[in-house]
């Protein structure tokens, strides 16, 4: 089993822009491609884990989420020859949380802060969750990390600053607060 670095998408890799309806509106946060490349260069398994409730809310089809991820991967490659080793996302949302599309409206263990995506990744990719790291910009990212036994890092990009100020979601106790992904990766590398 190998350790991994799990990465949230919006607000960590790409600029937080709400629900991205046009693929060309997805833009990388400066420095993230180089940060991912540093993980790649050390042969550390790099994995996207992201709640993507757009399909459940009826905003766009699941194929649009796939197209956004294709663009994300292209931008990472173009900027620094960086790559994600695997991508997991949750298009589901319960009715109580706002799900309207019957195809994707349900409770699921894959939706953060539940651990389904991490457990699936660990099972399919032979990953050691106890020695892995989760980098996110929301309290639910940190909570998911802790629920799965990972180290949880909160970045101050995206919603991170609002989480720290108590203005978004709820208070959480990240193991480390980083200005951005580049700083998070510098903190992670000596620990792997």
**Known catalytic residue at 10:** yes
Return the exposure string of 86-113: e unless at least 16 CB atoms fall within 10 Å of the residue's CB, then b: bbbbbbbbeeeeebebeebbeeeebbbb
8, 137, 141, 143: the active-site residue = 8
74 exposed, middle or buried (CB, 10 Å; 0-12, 13-18, 19+)?
exposed
Strand partners for 134: 6, 152
Catalytic residues, by residue number, are 8, 10
């Amino acid at each position: 089993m190998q350790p991994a670095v799990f990465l949230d998408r919006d607000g960590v890799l790409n600029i937080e822009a709400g629900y991205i309806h046009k693929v060309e509106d997805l833009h990388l946060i400066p420095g993230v491609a180089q940060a991912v490349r540093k993980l790649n260069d050390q042969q550390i398994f790099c994995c996207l884990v992201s709640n993507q409730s757009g399909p459940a809310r009826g905003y766009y089809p699941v194929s649009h989420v796939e197209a956004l991820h294709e663009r994300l991967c292209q931008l990472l490659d173009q900027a620094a020859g960086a790559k994600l080793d695997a991508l997991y996302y949750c298009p589901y949302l319960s009715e109580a949380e706002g799900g309207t599309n019957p195809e994707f409206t349900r409770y699921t263990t894959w939706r953060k802060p539940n651990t389904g995506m991490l457990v699936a990744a660990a099972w399919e990719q032979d990953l050691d969750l106890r020695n892995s790291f989760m980098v996110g910009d929301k309290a639910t990212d940190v909570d998911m990390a802790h629920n799965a036994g990972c180290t949880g890092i909160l970045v101050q990009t995206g919603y991170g600053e609002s989480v720290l100020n108590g203005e978004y979601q709820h208070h959480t106790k990240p193991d480390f607060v980083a200005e951005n992904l580049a700083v998070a990766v510098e903190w992670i590398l000596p620990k792997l």
